[in-house]
Amino acid sequence: MANRKEKSIILNGDEPDIRELLSNCTSTRLRSIIGDHRIVCIDEAQRINNIGLTIKIFTDQLKEVQVIASGSSAFDLANRTAEPLTGRKYETLLLPLSFKEMVEHHGLLEETRLLAHRLVYGYYPEIVTKPVLLEKILQALALQLGNEVSYHEIGQLVGADNQTVERYIDLLEKAFVIFRLPAFSRNVRNEIKKGRKIYFYDNGIRNTIISNFNLPEIRNDVGALWENFMISERTKYLIMNQIAAKSYFWRTTQQQEIDYIEERDGKLYAFEFKWNPLGKIKIPKTFLNSYSSAETEIITPKYFESFLGL
């Protein structure tokens, strides 16, 4: 809002008096609250009763005012505003901070120096609280980072049925904590067709869940951390740059695998992620023979910037 000439005001839904002011409000009351401000930002809007109806009054009766509603729970905010604001709103997807954004903030050299730190602590400024079952599911997902996920196996671990586990995972995805990667298959024999992997948008959240903030050089999961970091950062890059691409992983029943596959403009791109650039790296022959036109690339800490759009 700093680049706009109109007067602006920020109203924080965490404040009890703000919640009271904006709940069940009339247009007359709203005019007296905002005065001559023409941009109104309502933060933590999901905490305000009937916030959807309040914003509807803005859009219908105070047309000279632009309202920006934000919240730490996109799922709750969407539920509270969906019906009253049908046809009256534009939605913006606000992801966690990305590698590219931090490079723009303080330079490629400094951010590259912080790679090991980012793998452990991520980009979130603070940690969220979770119900017990949700926490158990998150712990199970965190410990299976980089592996295929079975709702049935997670359900057995946490004491819940498959449907409950899937609903929680769907909720976590809508809250931008995790995202799913489906298996890639074009009917090649022995390909896994219905598998899924789950990644965290932020490494710091994952490491908080398992209470492990050890440095990469003394961890046995650094390969999974690097894989999660690269795939989550690539996902942010694709979304923020509106690049149409489908993302997958690939694996056979013989455990041959490709970490990440992207399908863009009818072409396949296959990527393997290796934290140790000196380690042995092979692209499975089954994949190369089956998808000979696919481009392949190995992503290491020495060569990764172009993968993230830099």
Report which listed range, 51-60, 141-150, 182-191, is most confident: 141-150
Domains of the chain, by residue range, sit at 8-81, 99-308
Type of residue at 72: S
Q: Mention every residue, 6+ apart, whose C-beta is less than 8 A from residue 222.
A: 119, 216, 275
pLDDT above 90 for 198 = yes
Residue bearing the bigger pLDDT, 85 or 19: 19
Query: What digits encode the pLDDT tens for the residues 68-127?
Result: 888 777 666 777 776 677 767 777 777 878 899 989 988 999 999 989 988 988 886 543
pLDDT above 60 for 66 = yes
Residue 246: pLDDT band (50, 70, 90) is very high
Type of residue at 248: Y
Residue 56: pLDDT band (50, 70, 90) is confident
Query: What digits encode the pLDDT tens for the residues 121-147?
Result: 888 654 333 667 888 999 999 999 999
Residue 274: pLDDT band (50, 70, 90) is very high
The percent of residues in the chain predicted with pLDDT above 70, rounded, is: 94
Q: Rounded mean pLDDT of 275-284?
A: 87
Query: What SS3 string covers the chain?
Result: CCCCCCCEEEEECCCHHHHHHHCCCCHHHHHHHHCCCCEEEEECHHHCCCHHHHHHHHHHHCCCCEEEECCCCHHHHHHHHCCCCCCCCCCCCCCCCCHHHHHHHHCHHHHHHCHHHHHHHCCCCCCCCCCHHHHHHHHHHHHCCCCECCHHHHHHHHCCCHHHHHHHHHHHHHCCCEEEEEECCCCCCCECCCCEEEEECCHHHHHHHCCCCCCHHHCCCHHHHHHHHHHHHHHHHHHHCCCCCEEEEEEECCCCEEEEEEEECCEEEEEEECCCCCCCCCCCHHHHHHCCCCEEEEEECCECHHHHCC
Residue bearing the bigger pLDDT, 121 or 36: 36
pLDDT above 60 for 1 = no
pLDDT at 138: 93
pLDDT at 126: 45
Q: Mention every residue, 6+ apart, whose C-beta is less than 8 A from residue 248.
A: 181, 182, 183, 184, 260, 261, 262, 263
Radius of gyration of the chain (CA): 23
Q: Rounded mean pLDDT of 42-55?
A: 87
